[in-house]
Protein backbone atom coordinates (compact mmCIF):
# COMPACT_ATOMS: atom_id res chain seq x y z
CA UNK A 1 0.00 0.00 0.00
CA UNK A 2 2.66 2.46 1.10
CA UNK A 3 4.81 1.57 -1.84
CA UNK A 4 2.00 2.16 -4.24
CA UNK A 5 1.48 5.66 -2.91
CA UNK A 6 5.18 6.44 -3.10
CA UNK A 7 5.05 5.70 -6.81
CA UNK A 8 1.68 7.25 -7.49
CA UNK A 9 2.29 10.53 -5.70
CA UNK A 10 5.43 11.61 -7.58
CA UNK A 11 3.94 10.66 -10.93
CA UNK A 12 0.86 12.66 -10.05
CA UNK A 13 3.13 15.63 -9.35
CA UNK A 14 4.90 15.18 -12.65
CA UNK A 15 1.60 14.93 -14.50
CA UNK A 16 0.34 18.09 -12.81
CA UNK A 17 3.55 19.91 -13.65
CA UNK A 18 3.31 18.88 -17.29
CA UNK A 19 -0.28 20.05 -17.33
CA UNK A 20 0.85 23.41 -15.96
CA UNK A 21 3.50 23.70 -18.68
CA UNK A 22 0.92 22.86 -21.31
CA UNK A 23 -1.40 25.54 -20.02
CA UNK A 24 1.52 27.95 -20.16
CA UNK A 25 2.15 27.04 -23.77
CA UNK A 26 -1.37 27.77 -24.87
CA UNK A 27 -1.47 30.92 -22.75
CA UNK A 28 1.69 32.25 -24.36
CA UNK A 29 0.20 32.20 -27.82
CA UNK A 30 -2.76 34.08 -26.41
CA UNK A 31 -0.59 36.87 -24.98
CA UNK A 32 1.24 37.32 -28.28
CA UNK A 33 -1.93 38.13 -30.14
CA UNK A 34 -4.15 39.26 -27.29
CA UNK A 35 -6.63 42.08 -27.36
CA UNK A 36 -4.69 45.19 -26.51
CA UNK A 37 -5.37 48.45 -24.77
CA UNK A 38 -5.97 51.16 -27.38
CA UNK A 39 -2.69 52.93 -28.00
CA UNK A 40 -2.12 56.16 -29.89
CA UNK A 41 -0.35 55.86 -33.21
CA UNK A 42 3.13 57.44 -32.99
CA UNK A 43 3.82 60.61 -34.97
CA UNK A 44 5.81 60.20 -38.14
CA UNK A 45 7.00 62.09 -41.19
CA UNK A 46 7.68 59.75 -44.10
CA UNK A 47 7.04 59.70 -47.82
CA UNK A 48 4.67 57.72 -50.00
CA UNK A 49 6.36 54.81 -51.77
CA UNK A 50 5.21 55.58 -55.30
CA UNK A 51 4.34 59.28 -55.39
CA UNK A 52 6.92 60.54 -52.92
CA UNK A 53 4.23 62.66 -51.26
CA UNK A 54 4.87 63.48 -47.61
CA UNK A 55 2.74 61.45 -45.20
CA UNK A 56 2.03 62.06 -41.51
CA UNK A 57 -0.24 60.71 -38.82
CA UNK A 58 -3.07 62.81 -40.31
CA UNK A 59 -3.43 60.05 -42.91
CA UNK A 60 -5.27 58.10 -40.21
CA UNK A 61 -7.14 60.87 -38.37
CA UNK A 62 -8.34 63.37 -40.94
CA UNK A 63 -12.09 63.30 -41.62
CA UNK A 64 -12.47 59.83 -43.05
CA UNK A 65 -15.25 58.09 -44.88
CA UNK A 66 -14.49 54.85 -43.06
CA UNK A 67 -14.45 53.90 -39.40
CA UNK A 68 -11.14 52.10 -39.41
CA UNK A 69 -7.92 51.62 -41.35
CA UNK A 70 -5.96 48.42 -41.70
CA UNK A 71 -2.24 49.10 -41.49
CA UNK A 72 -0.27 46.26 -43.06
CA UNK A 73 3.50 45.97 -42.66
CA UNK A 74 5.19 44.30 -45.63
CA UNK A 75 8.36 44.16 -47.69
CA UNK A 76 9.36 42.86 -51.11
CA UNK A 77 12.00 40.57 -49.54
CA UNK A 78 9.39 38.96 -47.30
CA UNK A 79 8.25 35.63 -48.73
CA UNK A 80 5.47 35.15 -46.19
CA UNK A 81 3.93 38.48 -47.26
CA UNK A 82 3.47 37.00 -50.73
CA UNK A 83 1.26 34.29 -49.22
CA UNK A 84 -0.77 37.00 -47.55
CA UNK A 85 -1.01 39.24 -50.61
CA UNK A 86 -4.06 37.64 -52.33
CA UNK A 87 -6.06 37.97 -49.11
CA UNK A 88 -5.24 41.68 -48.88
CA UNK A 89 -6.37 42.14 -52.48
CA UNK A 90 -9.63 40.44 -51.56
CA UNK A 91 -10.11 42.72 -48.55
CA UNK A 92 -9.41 45.78 -50.69
CA UNK A 93 -12.06 44.61 -53.12
CA UNK A 94 -14.53 44.31 -50.24
CA UNK A 95 -13.87 47.98 -49.51
CA UNK A 96 -11.51 47.75 -46.54
CA UNK A 97 -9.28 50.81 -46.39
CA UNK A 98 -5.73 49.42 -46.28
CA UNK A 99 -2.59 51.44 -45.78
CA UNK A 100 0.73 49.69 -46.37
CA UNK A 101 3.91 50.21 -44.41
CA UNK A 102 6.86 49.19 -46.52
CA UNK A 103 9.45 48.00 -44.01
CA UNK A 104 13.25 48.23 -44.51
CA UNK A 105 12.91 47.76 -48.23
CA UNK A 106 14.32 48.93 -51.52
CA UNK A 107 12.03 51.47 -53.20
CA UNK A 108 12.54 50.06 -56.68
CA UNK A 109 11.90 46.45 -55.65
CA UNK A 110 8.79 47.35 -53.67
CA UNK A 111 7.28 49.46 -56.45
CA UNK A 112 7.82 46.86 -59.13
CA UNK A 113 6.39 44.13 -56.89
CA UNK A 114 3.18 46.14 -56.42
CA UNK A 115 2.99 46.73 -60.18
CA UNK A 116 3.34 43.06 -61.01
CA UNK A 117 1.20 41.49 -58.28
CA UNK A 118 -1.47 44.13 -57.76
CA UNK A 119 -1.81 46.89 -55.18
CA UNK A 120 -4.27 46.45 -52.31
CA UNK A 121 -3.06 49.64 -50.58
CA UNK A 122 -4.62 53.09 -50.78
CA UNK A 123 -1.30 54.56 -49.73
CA UNK A 124 2.05 52.99 -48.91
CA UNK A 125 4.25 54.56 -46.27
CA UNK A 126 7.87 54.08 -47.26
CA UNK A 127 9.94 53.31 -44.15
CA UNK A 128 13.41 52.15 -45.31
CA UNK A 129 15.00 52.63 -41.87
CA UNK A 130 12.14 51.14 -39.91
CA UNK A 131 11.67 54.24 -37.75
CA UNK A 132 7.87 54.23 -37.66
CA UNK A 133 7.90 50.44 -37.38
CA UNK A 134 10.16 50.68 -34.35
CA UNK A 135 7.84 53.14 -32.61
CA UNK A 136 4.86 50.97 -33.44
CA UNK A 137 6.63 47.95 -31.97
CA UNK A 138 6.75 45.93 -35.18
CA UNK A 139 8.47 42.60 -34.57
CA UNK A 140 8.60 41.24 -38.12
CA UNK A 141 6.74 41.18 -41.38
CA UNK A 142 3.92 40.54 -42.07
CA UNK A 143 2.15 42.33 -39.28
CA UNK A 144 -1.23 44.07 -39.27
CA UNK A 145 -2.73 46.82 -37.12
CA UNK A 146 -6.31 47.95 -36.92
CA UNK A 147 -6.55 51.70 -36.40
CA UNK A 148 -9.70 53.64 -35.58
CA UNK A 149 -10.51 57.08 -36.95
CA UNK A 150 -8.95 58.82 -33.94
CA UNK A 151 -5.56 57.30 -34.71
CA UNK A 152 -5.75 54.70 -31.92
CA UNK A 153 -4.34 51.23 -32.55
CA UNK A 154 -7.08 48.89 -31.35
CA UNK A 155 -5.83 45.49 -32.55
CA UNK A 156 -2.67 43.96 -33.89
CA UNK A 157 -1.67 40.65 -35.38
CA UNK A 158 1.76 39.23 -36.10
CA UNK A 159 1.71 36.70 -38.92
CA UNK A 160 -0.21 35.92 -42.07
CA UNK A 161 -3.64 37.50 -42.23
CA UNK A 162 -6.31 35.11 -43.47
CA UNK A 163 -10.03 34.55 -43.26
CA UNK A 164 -10.04 33.04 -39.78
CA UNK A 165 -7.76 35.71 -38.29
CA UNK A 166 -9.80 38.41 -39.91
CA UNK A 167 -13.09 36.97 -38.62
CA UNK A 168 -11.89 36.19 -35.10
CA UNK A 169 -9.41 38.92 -34.40
CA UNK A 170 -10.32 42.04 -36.35
CA UNK A 171 -14.01 41.72 -37.17
CA UNK A 172 -15.20 41.82 -33.52
CA UNK A 173 -13.23 45.04 -32.94
CA UNK A 174 -14.66 46.60 -36.09
CA UNK A 175 -18.22 45.70 -35.18
CA UNK A 176 -17.64 47.34 -31.80
CA UNK A 177 -16.39 50.49 -33.52
CA UNK A 178 -19.26 50.88 -35.94
CA UNK A 179 -21.76 50.14 -33.16
CA UNK A 180 -20.40 52.98 -31.06
CA UNK A 181 -20.64 55.35 -34.02
CA UNK A 182 -24.26 54.64 -34.81
CA UNK B 1 -0.43 2.38 -17.19
CA UNK B 2 1.05 5.56 -15.73
CA UNK B 3 3.91 5.36 -18.17
CA UNK B 4 1.45 5.11 -21.00
CA UNK B 5 -0.32 8.20 -19.79
CA UNK B 6 2.90 10.17 -19.46
CA UNK B 7 3.89 9.15 -22.96
CA UNK B 8 0.53 10.29 -24.24
CA UNK B 9 0.85 13.66 -22.53
CA UNK B 10 4.37 14.09 -23.90
CA UNK B 11 3.19 13.45 -27.45
CA UNK B 12 0.28 15.80 -26.97
CA UNK B 13 2.67 18.54 -25.82
CA UNK B 14 4.93 18.01 -28.81
CA UNK B 15 1.95 18.13 -31.11
CA UNK B 16 0.45 21.33 -29.70
CA UNK B 17 3.77 23.14 -29.61
CA UNK B 18 4.41 22.16 -33.22
CA UNK B 19 1.09 23.69 -34.14
CA UNK B 20 1.92 26.86 -32.27
CA UNK B 21 5.24 27.25 -34.05
CA UNK B 22 3.15 28.42 -36.97
CA UNK B 23 2.77 31.98 -35.80
CA UNK B 24 5.85 32.66 -33.71
CA UNK B 25 8.15 35.53 -34.65
CA UNK B 26 10.21 32.90 -36.46
CA UNK B 27 7.51 32.73 -39.03
CA UNK B 28 7.99 36.38 -39.79
CA UNK B 29 11.03 37.29 -41.87
CA UNK B 30 13.55 40.05 -41.38
CA UNK B 31 16.25 41.62 -43.49
CA UNK B 32 19.98 42.01 -42.92
CA UNK B 33 21.19 45.18 -41.21
CA UNK B 34 22.54 48.04 -43.33
CA UNK B 35 26.19 48.95 -43.25
CA UNK B 36 25.73 52.50 -41.89
CA UNK B 37 23.53 51.08 -39.17
CA UNK B 38 26.27 48.70 -38.02
CA UNK B 39 28.85 51.47 -38.07
CA UNK B 40 26.59 53.78 -36.05
CA UNK B 41 26.12 51.14 -33.35
CA UNK B 42 29.59 49.67 -33.18
CA UNK B 43 31.42 53.00 -33.12
CA UNK B 44 29.06 54.82 -30.77
CA UNK B 45 31.10 57.04 -28.48
CA UNK B 46 29.83 57.58 -24.95
CA UNK B 47 30.37 60.66 -22.84
CA UNK B 48 32.07 58.58 -20.18
CA UNK B 49 33.09 55.03 -19.30
CA UNK B 50 30.38 54.67 -16.67
CA UNK B 51 27.59 55.34 -19.16
CA UNK B 52 29.13 52.86 -21.54
CA UNK B 53 29.20 49.99 -19.08
CA UNK B 54 25.66 50.78 -17.89
CA UNK B 55 24.39 50.81 -21.50
CA UNK B 56 26.09 47.51 -22.32
CA UNK B 57 24.75 45.85 -19.17
CA UNK B 58 21.24 47.05 -19.96
CA UNK B 59 21.43 45.93 -23.59
CA UNK B 60 22.42 42.49 -22.30
CA UNK B 61 19.27 42.36 -20.18
CA UNK B 62 16.94 43.17 -23.07
CA UNK B 63 15.87 40.50 -25.49
CA UNK B 64 15.77 41.15 -29.21
CA UNK B 65 12.04 41.07 -30.08
CA UNK B 66 12.69 39.27 -33.35
CA UNK B 67 14.88 36.50 -32.02
CA UNK B 68 13.85 33.70 -29.76
CA UNK B 69 16.81 33.77 -27.43
CA UNK B 70 19.36 36.48 -28.11
CA UNK B 71 19.87 39.76 -26.33
CA UNK B 72 20.46 43.11 -27.98
CA UNK B 73 24.24 42.70 -27.76
CA UNK B 74 24.33 39.28 -29.40
CA UNK B 75 21.77 39.67 -32.14
CA UNK B 76 22.66 40.82 -35.63
CA UNK B 77 19.11 41.54 -36.74
CA UNK B 78 18.50 45.15 -37.85
CA UNK B 79 15.89 45.73 -35.18
CA UNK B 80 18.34 44.67 -32.45
CA UNK B 81 20.97 47.03 -33.83
CA UNK B 82 18.45 49.87 -33.86
CA UNK B 83 17.27 49.14 -30.33
CA UNK B 84 20.84 48.89 -29.10
CA UNK B 85 21.58 52.28 -30.60
CA UNK B 86 18.50 53.65 -28.82
CA UNK B 87 19.66 52.15 -25.52
CA UNK B 88 23.09 53.75 -26.02
CA UNK B 89 21.61 57.13 -26.93
CA UNK B 90 19.16 57.11 -24.02
CA UNK B 91 21.85 56.12 -21.51
CA UNK B 92 24.14 58.79 -22.90
CA UNK B 93 21.34 61.32 -22.54
CA UNK B 94 21.12 60.42 -18.85
CA UNK B 95 17.88 58.41 -18.93
CA UNK B 96 17.44 55.91 -16.10
CA UNK B 97 17.34 52.16 -16.68
CA UNK B 98 13.67 52.16 -15.70
CA UNK B 99 12.83 54.78 -18.34
CA UNK B 100 14.62 52.78 -21.02
CA UNK B 101 12.97 49.50 -20.00
CA UNK B 102 9.57 51.22 -20.07
CA UNK B 103 10.31 52.50 -23.57
CA UNK B 104 10.99 48.94 -24.71
CA UNK B 105 8.08 47.20 -22.98
CA UNK B 106 5.60 49.83 -24.20
CA UNK B 107 6.48 48.81 -27.73
CA UNK B 108 7.35 45.14 -27.57
CA UNK B 109 5.76 43.92 -24.34
CA UNK B 110 7.29 42.01 -21.42
CA UNK B 111 8.75 39.57 -23.94
CA UNK B 112 11.89 41.73 -24.18
CA UNK B 113 12.72 41.51 -20.48
CA UNK B 114 15.33 38.92 -19.57
CA UNK B 115 14.88 40.05 -16.01
CA UNK B 116 11.10 39.87 -15.50
CA UNK B 117 9.35 42.13 -13.01
CA UNK B 118 8.38 40.73 -9.63
CA UNK B 119 4.58 41.04 -9.62
CA UNK B 120 1.54 38.86 -8.97
CA UNK B 121 1.77 37.41 -12.48
CA UNK B 122 5.37 36.28 -11.99
CA UNK B 123 5.29 35.09 -8.35
CA UNK B 124 5.33 31.47 -9.48
CA UNK B 125 8.28 32.14 -11.77
CA UNK B 126 10.38 33.76 -9.05
CA UNK B 127 9.27 31.73 -6.04
CA UNK B 128 8.68 28.38 -7.73
CA UNK B 129 12.32 27.23 -7.61
CA UNK B 130 12.60 28.20 -3.93
CA UNK B 131 9.47 26.22 -3.12
CA UNK B 132 10.78 23.21 -5.01
CA UNK B 133 14.11 23.44 -3.17
CA UNK B 134 12.26 23.61 0.15
CA UNK B 135 10.11 20.63 -0.79
CA UNK B 136 13.08 18.51 -1.77
CA UNK B 137 15.00 19.46 1.38
CA UNK B 138 12.08 18.33 3.53
CA UNK B 139 11.68 15.10 1.60
CA UNK B 140 15.43 14.49 1.68
CA UNK B 141 15.68 14.99 5.45
CA UNK B 142 12.74 12.66 6.01
CA UNK B 143 14.15 9.92 3.81
CA UNK B 144 17.58 10.15 5.44
CA UNK B 145 16.07 10.08 8.96
CA UNK B 146 14.02 7.04 8.03
CA UNK B 147 17.03 5.15 6.64
CA UNK B 148 19.03 5.99 9.79
CA UNK B 149 16.23 4.55 11.91
CA UNK B 150 16.16 1.39 9.80
CA UNK B 151 19.92 0.81 10.11
CA UNK B 152 19.73 1.44 13.85
List pLDDT tens digits, range A105-134. Answer: 889 999 999 999 999 999 999 999 888 998
Quote the pTM value. 0.73
Mean pLDDT over A141-160 rounds to 88
- CB contacts < 8 Å between A and B, how many? 87
- Of residues A90 and A30, which shows the higher confidence score? A90
On whether any CB of chain B is under 8 Å from the CB of A25, the answer is: yes
Residue of A nearest to B21 (CA): A29
Question: Which chain A residues have a beta carbon less than 8 Å from that of B27?
Answer: 80, 159-160
Q: Confidence band (pLDDT; 50, 70, 90) for A33?
A: low
Q: Per residue in B10-45, pLDDT tens? A: 777 666 665 554 444 444 455 566 777 788 888 888
Counting Cβ atoms within 10 Å, is residue A138 exposed (0-12), middle (13-18) or buried (19+)?
buried
- What pLDDT sits at residue B16? 65
- What pLDDT sits at residue B27? 43
Under an 8 Å CB criterion, which residues of B touch A? Answer: 2, 5-6, 9-10, 12-13, 16-17, 20, 22-25, 27-31, 37, 65-66, 78-79, 82-83, 86, 106-109, 111
Counting Cβ atoms within 10 Å, is residue A44 exposed (0-12), middle (13-18) or buried (19+)?
middle
Rounded to the nearest 10 degrees, the angle between the axes of helix B97-108 and helix B49-61 is 30
- What pLDDT sits at residue A180? 62
- What pLDDT sits at residue A28? 53
Residue among A29, A102, A94 at smallest CA distance from A66: A94
Q: Confidence band (pLDDT; 50, 70, 90) for A25?
A: confident
- What pLDDT sits at residue A26? 73
Q: Confidence band (pLDDT; 50, 70, 90) for A27?
A: low
- Of residues B36 and B140, which shows the higher confidence score? B140
What is residue A21's three-state secondary structure? helix
Amino acid sequence: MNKKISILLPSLFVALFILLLMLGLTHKSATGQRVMQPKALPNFQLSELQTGKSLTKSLFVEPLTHHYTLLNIWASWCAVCKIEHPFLLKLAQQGVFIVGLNYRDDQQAATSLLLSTGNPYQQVIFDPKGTLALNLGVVGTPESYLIDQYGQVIARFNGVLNDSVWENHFKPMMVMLTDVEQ
Amino acid sequence: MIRLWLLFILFYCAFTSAQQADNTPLNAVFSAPKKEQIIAVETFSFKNKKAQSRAIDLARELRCPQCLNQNLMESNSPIAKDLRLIVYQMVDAGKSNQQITNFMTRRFGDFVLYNPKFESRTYLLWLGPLLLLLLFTIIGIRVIKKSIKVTD
